[in-house]
Amino acid sequence: MSAKIPATIITGFLGAGKTTLIRHLLETTRDRRLALIINEFGDVGVDGEILRACGVENCPEENIVELANGCLCCTVADDFAPAIEALLAHDNPPEHIIIETSGLALPKPLVKAFDWPAIRSRLTVDGVIAVVDGRAVAEGRFADDLEAIAAERAQTETIDHDNPLEEVFEDQLACADLIVLNKIDLLDADEDAAVMATLANGTPRGVKVLRARHGAVDSRAALGLSAAAEDDLANRPSHHDALDEHDHEDFESFVVEIAAAQDAAGLVARLAEVSAAHDVLRIKGFAEVVGKPMRLLVQGVGPRFQHQFDRPWGLGERRSSRLVVIGRKGLDREAIVAALATR
């Protein structure tokens, strides 16, 4: 039998920089044919679009698969396994598969899926990479007490689920074989040192941390870890170990279509305002700006927004402004839609 194909699972909280890291890996990995499986929360394929736009030779379009129906780990039989089958059936099957999980997904159930006979016989988890938003951690948004949690976890089977955001973040770190501390350009030296210390305390297995700006890590350090994570599940504690199925109900997303914006800066200011007022975690999508031949890519992570014109609208392409909004369960959808509709 031929050797198993390695798969790298990229996890990381919403907006941490997973897509940016993958883009960098696509552009800098020359020695093997890659495939991508992208799992997004919400049904606007923003990450898929960004990655397809790279147009790299060693990862042709037919090797980029988007699975937008819910979380990969819950749709293994229906979506994930068939997607793998299809990729491996290509004339030139990939030599390495990169899987981007949605920012709210727990990585461990996906690693477990590699234990399925049909997958296990052909693939192995080369490594789980957790991308960390350095700015968010510096602001104490996810990592105040990783050490305490690790200690508590060692003593008790389960921990009360009173903060799902932290749980997702901690599960991602606990499952990682490599941590990429991203967005260090947004940290001063003291913050950088503090975040590094927090991560060192919060990773039980002494996992290596690579620091990065815009996901720029050496692909030789990120791919080829040979971790065989599917054989090492016991060392990857999860808040959800006691549950058969994890719950996705803590978060929700919806897509909102708005009118063309008068100008890009105005649109972004409005989005930032709405995001802050309604405690939105993530907004991303493409928008039309009146009089502009190019479409605008808009990305917000909490209060920080970025925008750029990413490509011209195609001939005959319907110009629209569709944004996916992601937040904790209970988002005031009506109010958000109404606020975004205001010009």
Binding site for ligand GTP (CB under 6 A): 12, 14-20, 47, 103, 182-183, 185-186, 213-215, 282, 284, 299, 301, 306
Q: Roughly what angle, to the nearest 10 degrees, separates helices 189-202 and 146-155?
A: 0
Identify the residue whose tokens are 């602001």.
Answer: 139
Pick from 145, 136, 142, 203: nearest CA to 173: 203
Residue closer to ligand GTP by CB (options 124, 327) is 327
Residue closer to ligand GTP by CB (options 20, 198) is 20
Identify the residue whose tokens are 């914006």.
Answer: 261
Q: How far is the CB of 27 from ligand GTP (least distance, A)?
A: 14
Q: How far is CA 168 from the centre of its chain?
A: 12
Q: How far is the CB of 185 from ligand GTP (least distance, A)?
A: 5
Establish how many alpha carbons lie within 13 A of residue 68's alpha carbon, considering only the half-sphere containing its beta carbon: 14
Q: How far is the CB of 282 from ligand GTP (least distance, A)?
A: 5
Residue closer to ligand GTP by CB (options 192, 241) is 192
Residue closer to ligand GTP by CB (options 17, 202) is 17
Residue closer to ligand GTP by CB (options 73, 119) is 73
Structure tokens at 226: 């040979």
3-state secondary structure of 166: helix
Q: How far is the CB of 42 from ligand GTP (least distance, A)?
A: 9
Q: How far is the CB of 182 from ligand GTP (least distance, A)?
A: 5
Q: Which residue is nearest to ligand GTP (CB)?
A: 103
In total, the chain counts a number of residues equal to 343
| 57 CB burial (10 A radius; 0-12, 13-18, 19+) | exposed
